[in-house]
Structure 1
């Protein structure tokens, strides 16, 4: 059974006239008749009661027409959705990002983008750095925002910006009045950290190792707000991005002078997978807006 046969059947059923249907389809009347005959032979039942060039659906034809109309409607809707996806000015983008980017960076990014492209919609996810890449490779998302990733032939990572990481301590802490500290100054402090797999966890572990110690973890979280809140009540110290808003928490933010405490954020996409125009335009918008020369 061919898709064209179903379209021909639908048109004959609508017009109830073989010659008129053939003319509207821009084919010959014998060709249309042969197509209908092959369809009836494949189905094993007649679909029309014939009176010369005029035809009427029989009960089998009426039953089959209901299914054909539904199938054609679904296919047409699918074609329209695909065409919408191919348009750079409308469609849906699935974006996943680190939880630490959800407070301000991602909302600001989407606000800026939709100011120019208001018809674009977003489906958003938060995840750890490791799981973001797994999502991407599985095809569950279009692009993601994360820290530096290991070289991988399947994906492309482009740097967007680099930001300083600050040590946060309770406001009543012995170090709270310092202008800056050495990272090893917190070597013996209880540490409120991030869960394994989180980008900040791997960065924190690496920086602390460079300073000669392993953090003494008292809690492992995912959200900067949770970590800062627990630091504020004296559960320990931590290392967070400078752009994180700490005003709501009872913490002091301290720059580190002896170690280059920074993290780099980039955008990642699959190299060889098809990318809809709406996603391609969004990716290029981000790179142009934030990308480093």
Structure 2
């Protein structure tokens, strides 16, 4: 069975006149008749009742027409979706990003990008780094904004920017009036940290390892705002980047001296996996955006 036979059948079923249907299809009437005859032979049943020049669907034809209509509609829909995917001004981009980037950075990037590409849509997944990597490997994500870490092949990661990490203490803490401290001055404090696996937790653990002390952890959270809230409540201190998700009232942010207290954020994608023109356009937009942010 050929795809063309289904299109010919659909036209003849709609017009129910062999000559007129052939004219609509820009083929000869005998060619249309032969195509329909071959289709009926392959199906093993007649699809039309023929009485002289009159032709109309029989009960087999009516049943088959419904199926053919669905098949052709699905084909047209699939064709349209593929055309949108390969059109850099249309399509959908699947983007993953860290929880802490969802307050302002990712919304701002998407807003700026869509001023020039209003017909491109985004599928967003907000999660911690390990899960983002799984989604990249499975093909569920096109691009991902995530912290620096060892990534398996074929994932490729490129640095975009760096955020300073601060010691966060309650505003009534003895250290709160200081502008900076060393991390060793927090060795005897109770810590409120992100749960294991989160990028911020990995970076905090790296700082503790450098300082050669094991922190006393009283609470582990899923959200930066929750961690900051527990700090405000006086339940401990933390190490976090600055950001809108942190309630600035009730806390003090202290620079950490004597080490590079920072997190490095970059973009990751799976090398060798197909990226649509829309995804490539957004990828280049991100590179260009952060290149402009670098001091000259």
Which band: TM-score by shorter chain? over 0.9
Q: Distance in 2 between matches of 1:161 and 1:220?
A: 26
* Cα shift readout 1:251-293 (whole Å, capped 9, x = no counterpart): 1000011110011111111111111111111111111101488
On the 8 A contact 1:167/1:255 being kept in 2, the answer is: yes
On the 8 A contact 2:96/2:125 being kept in 1, the answer is: yes
**Matching residue of 2:250:** 250
**Matching residue of 2:204:** 204
**Matching residue of 1:76:** 76
Q: Distance in 1 between matches of 2:189 and 2:270?
A: 41
Structure 1 SS opposite 2:176: coil
- Matched residue count: 293
Residue ranges of structure 1 left out of the alignment (5+ in a row): none
**Matching residue of 1:48:** 48
Structure 2 SS opposite 1:50: strand
**Matching residue of 1:193:** 193
Q: Distance in 2 between matches of 1:76 and 1:245?
A: 45
Structure 1 SS opposite 2:96: strand
RMSD: 1.9
On the 8 A contact 1:165/1:242 being kept in 2, the answer is: yes
C-alpha distance 39-158 of structure 1, shift in aligned 2 (>3 A): same
* Cα shift readout 1:29-83 (whole Å, capped 9, x = no counterpart): 4443332222212222100122456522112112211221122112211211221
**Matching residue of 1:229:** 229
Scaled by the length of structure 1, the TM-score of the pair is 0.93
Aligned counterparts, 1:245-284, within 5 A: 246-284=246-284
Scaled by the length of structure 2, the TM-score of the pair is 0.92
Q: Distance in 2 between matches of 1:68 and 1:222?
A: 51
On the 8 A contact 1:157/1:267 being kept in 2, the answer is: yes
Within the alignment, does 1:183 sit opposite 2:176 as a pair?
Answer: no
Within the alignment, does 1:110 sit opposite 2:110 as a pair?
Answer: yes
Q: Distance in 2 between matches of 1:176 and 1:79?
A: 61
Residue ranges of structure 2 left out of the alignment (5+ in a row): none
On the 8 A contact 1:211/1:259 being kept in 2, the answer is: no
Aligned counterparts, 1:281-292, within 5 A: 281-291=281-291
Structure 2 SS opposite 1:55: strand
On the 8 A contact 1:145/1:266 being kept in 2, the answer is: yes
Q: Distance in 1 between matches of 2:141 and 2:249?
A: 33
Q: Distance in 2 between matches of 1:274 and 1:22?
A: 41
